[in-house]
Amino acid sequence: MRARILVFAAACAAVAAQPLRAAEGALGEQKTITSTGARALVDSCLAYAQRNNQAVGIAVVDPYGNLIDYHTMSGTNVIAGESAILKAKTAVRWWRSTEELNARVLGEQNVAPVWIGDFPQRGAVPIVVGGVVVGGMGIGGGGGDDCAKAAIAAVLPGATTTVLGQ
């Protein structure tokens, strides 16, 4: 019994003596859209919507769903603004476009987004840089997610709206 206790104590001491190798995984990094980048995306979408005679609400969230920039054009209804935010948050939570989520929900392939209070309505996409979701962009009241995709292509060359393997 004493031997077992000694072995256990020795093992604990050995673990405690190991230095914390932070560089090997204690801390990670998350790429995220900046405040400036979010505003540029909103402005780019705003210009796209004006060119196409759309009146939309536009929202950009960071990878955690925090709202970073938002604009409602004159002439939009209440839901256009509110839903833009909900859509953007849903896209970053699922790492998918809400159009794709909508199809999965309607096809009963996966109804979970509805069960947990998400808003799987067409109009939002994740913003993906180097395979990592750095934010989400949602459009309410317009013609789907065209405005968001155009803005992302214009402001973040090389960024995509899909995560590989999803």
Q: Which residues contact 90 (CB under 8 A, 6 or more apart)?
A: 98, 101, 113, 118, 119, 120, 124, 136, 138
Question: Distance (Å, rounded) from C-alpha 154 to C-alpha 148?
Answer: 10
Of 73 and 92, nearer to other proteins (C-beta) is 73
Q: How far is the CB of 59 from other proteins (least distance, A)?
A: 8
Rounded to the nearest whole angstrom, what is the least distance from the CB of residue 82 to other proteins in the complex?
Answer: 8
Q: How far is the CB of 151 from other proteins (least distance, A)?
A: 16
Return the exposure string of 27-50: e unless at least 16 CB atoms fall within 10 Å of the residue's CB, then b. Answer: eeeeebbeeebbbbbbbbbbebbe
| 59 vs 148, beta carbon nearer other proteins | 59
- Closest contact distance (angstroms) between CB of 81 and other proteins is 6
DSSP H or E run through 41: helix 35-51
Residues that bind other proteins (CB under 8 A): 34-36, 38-39, 59, 64, 66-74, 78, 81-82, 85
Q: Which of 49/128 has CB closer to other proteins?
A: 49
Task: Compare residues 67 and 150 and give the one whose CB is closer to other proteins.
Answer: 67
